[in-house]
Structure 1
């Protein structure tokens, strides 16, 4: 009788563990469904990547605290990744990268930091200067570089990137997507096993996370 009771207890504990994992998965944040591909002839271009220092640098949303400052070189790298992806979209379309808007971004003077609507006003004027109807605005809202190596990291990389699609003439946002990820080990989160295996079991740099995030976010935006 004691052996039967013991087996019953083990089975009950196993069932509880499975249920807990299923509940955890069902309670995790639900991602948005991939958008329908946008018109390949849409008059859209990308703005240069910037880094948000406070909330007024975002069209809307909150800047997470304690972000690391990223270099102009890294911003240029992100511009290149975005431009390459926009040059050949899954739908066969092609949109200009920041090379089409950079001079306008440099010549347009933003309102003082903290001004209400500062970011939307600024990017709308950049888009008007560049002669586009829609402007894709990418903003790094948080950046934390990996410590350690690709096979083991005491502090994995973490990023938050916001994407806004601005209707330049209407001075409004027609779509937005926030990509955020802090890479964790497989032992810390079994729900990320597919992603961890796809990355070869390696810890990525913040740049590598961002490159993945750019492609993923554009798919979600239909670009």
Structure 2
């Protein structure tokens, strides 16, 4: 038997064993205590220029995600917070009013940094903590769940700003889906997804579940 055939059989056997063992989505335990105080949650932003980022750099500037993507992510964010039993927070719609206020107050002035801008939003809304999600990469799969020419790819940053102490925690999710044969270390994740090639939306949902947990949310 050829080496590639042997590797395929082993990989498929691993997938079956994981499925039998019950490798579905497990209950997560927050990595840190839930932030104490008034929480505000901003809606997703999709920075297209580096100056809009709270940290890091874009691979390529000037390329926004497709229309409707941010709205979809906001719905997933609300669903994920609810699943994590995070209910008492200032909603993105309320935060957006302060986003407009800060922009108005800074009009005619030199461009403020993303950090100063979002800190100003947090102070305007009078929150103890402000969650700021930023989408930096969105590539939909080309193909179907059975096979792809190009896999889905997503990168999202979650920033939890401690408004009073002017500090920030960053939790980044970045994934380009790989096949079981490409990365056996992700076998459990691959099995949990039914052994299929998933959409960018599914990647984003998985990323939110994982990274909000890391922030205690």
Q: Specify the TM-score bucket, using the shorter chain as the normaliser.
A: 0.7 to 0.9
Structure 1 117/131 Cα, relative in aligned 2: closer, same or farther at 3 Å? Answer: same
Match of residue 159, structure 1, among 138, 145, 154: 154
For the aligned residue pairs, the C-alpha RMSD in angstroms reads: 2.6
Pick the structure with greater CA Rg.
Answer: 1
Structure 2 gaps of 5+ residues are 1-28
Q: Matches of 1:184 and 1:74 in 2, distance apart?
A: 22
Cα contact 2:143–2:149 (8 A) shared by 1 = yes
Partner residue in 1 for 2:33: 37
Q: Equivalent residue of 1:177, what SS? A: strand
Partner residue in 2 for 1:122: 117
1:56 aligns with 2:51: yes
Partner residue in 2 for 1:218: 212
Structure 1 gaps of 5+ residues are 1-32
Q: TM-score, normalised by structure 2?
A: 0.76
How far did residue 104 of structure 1 move?
1.8
Partner residue in 2 for 1:205: 199
Deviates more, 1:203-212 or 1:67-76: 67-76
Match of residue 65, structure 2, among 53, 61, 70: 70
Q: Matches of 2:38 and 2:67 in 1, distance apart?
A: 27
Higher RCO (CA 8 Å, separation ≥ 6 residues): 2
**How many aligned residue pairs are there?**
186
1:145 aligns with 2:128: no
Q: TM-score, normalised by structure 1?
A: 0.74
Cα contact 2:48–2:61 (8 A) shared by 1 = no
Q: Equivalent residue of 1:101, what SS? A: helix
Structure 1 66/188 Cα, relative in aligned 2: closer, same or farther at 3 Å? Answer: farther
Structure 1 166/117 Cα, relative in aligned 2: closer, same or farther at 3 Å? Answer: farther
1:179 aligns with 2:190: no
Structure 1 86/169 Cα, relative in aligned 2: closer, same or farther at 3 Å? Answer: same
Partner residue in 1 for 2:189: 195
Partner residue in 2 for 1:101: 95
Structure 1 71/128 Cα, relative in aligned 2: closer, same or farther at 3 Å? Answer: farther
Q: Matches of 2:75 and 2:181 in 1, distance apart?
A: 34
How far did residue 193 of structure 1 move?
1.0
Deviates more, 1:58-67 or 1:43-52: 58-67
Q: Matches of 2:100 and 2:189 in 1, distance apart?
A: 38
